[in-house]
Amino acid sequence: MKGILINYEYCTGCHSCEVACRNELGLTAGEYGIKLTEVGPYEYTTPIAADTPYEWVYNPTITKACDLCEARTALGKMPSCVQACQAWCMYYGEVEDLAKKMDGKTRWALYAPLSDDARSAMVAEREALAVEAGAAGVKHVDTAAKVAGKTESYGTWVGDMELNITLRGVEKLEAFLAEFATIDLEAAKLDLEAQIISDEKATAYVLAADKAVDGAAHELGLMAIAMNYDAQGTQLGGGKAYLDKGQAVARKDVTIMF
């Protein structure tokens, strides 16, 4: 059985694997075959058995959309994420061989997508449970019947920086504003822009008390993904690694999902 091994101790958070995978699978913005997750930065106050009390690590997580790049590997090529990895910390091969690479000195993640047989067994089990629920009088709602989320994209300028925003799940933001806010969607967008520019790791849209009908602050949870580029269109690394070297951000692409 084939799989992918990631030595995430050395992942730099460059997002190259995400971009290569999305292009290979033809996924739209906000969909992933591999998704970069980030833990930290923070410092442990509780004593731990480690060489440093600081935690800040990136871990590319393979999703259910991954098919190990069947079209590429059938031709003897590497999966697109492995091929594009800038840190050379990803490996492809037989699971048994990959497991032997893990030396216990650094942190690894070994992934193997579900086989067709395993996936078929899971589907059959789910269908059987749905039949049992129906017999018990429980109404089953098919996920395909769910209304697709509303997405809106637009571009603007903040000083000399080009800012491109994609909002996914706009209906949730609209409902939130209708319930709590005295401002409209356009004003809320300006608030969102200001929040993301000041904190790319924001996890909620904050509606200030002076903009709320009840005079109290409210929050709407979100997930933001920000990509920064210099004037030449070169991505400015993961986190703030390259920005610390003084390069100015000429373009920021932000996806916000409610």
Render pLDDT for 36-45 as a digit per residue (tens, 0 to 9).
988 888 899 9
What is the C-alpha separation between 228 and 254, in angstroms, rounded? Answer: 9
Kindly list the distances between the CA atom of residue 35 and the CA atoms of 22, 73, 167, 225, in Å, as whole numbers in the listed order.
10, 20, 18, 11
Give me the residue label for tokens 């209906």.
171
User: Are residues 197 and 245 both part of a single domain?
Assistant: yes
- Residue 106's contacts (CB-CB under 8 Å, 6 or more residues apart) are 7, 9, 10
Determine the pLDDT at residue 147.
46
How many Å apart are CA 215 and CA 202, to the nearest integer?
Answer: 23
Pairing of strands 90-94, 161-168: unpaired
Calculate the average pLDDT of the chain.
Answer: 84
Predicted local distance difference test score (pLDDT) of residue 133: 67
Q: Which amino acid is at 242?
A: Y
Q: Could you give the number of structural domains in the chain?
A: 2
The single-letter DSSP state of residue 11 is: -
* Predicted pLDDT at 139: 53
Q: Residue 211's pLDDT is what?
A: 96
The last residue of one of the domains, among 88, 111, 134, is 111
Is 187 in a helix, a strand, or coil? helix
pLDDT score recorded for residue 174: 93
Structure token digits, residue 6: 């990631």
Q: What is the pTM of this model?
A: 0.49
Q: Is the pLDDT of residue 240 over 50?
A: no
Determine the Cα–Cα distance for residues 196 and 256; give it in Å rounded to an integer.
9
Classify residue 131: in a domain, yes or no.
no
168 and 96 in a single domain? The answer is no
Asked whether residue 50 is domain-assigned, the answer is yes
Q: Which H/E stretch holds residue 158?
A: strand 151-158
The per-residue pLDDT for 239 is 46
Q: What is the pLDDT of residues 102-150, one digit of tens each?
A: 888 888 999 987 666 666 776 777 777 777 766 766 654 444 444 457 8
* pLDDT at 230 > cutoff 90: no
Q: pLDDT tens across 53-65, in order?
A: 888 889 999 998 9
pLDDT score of 124: 76
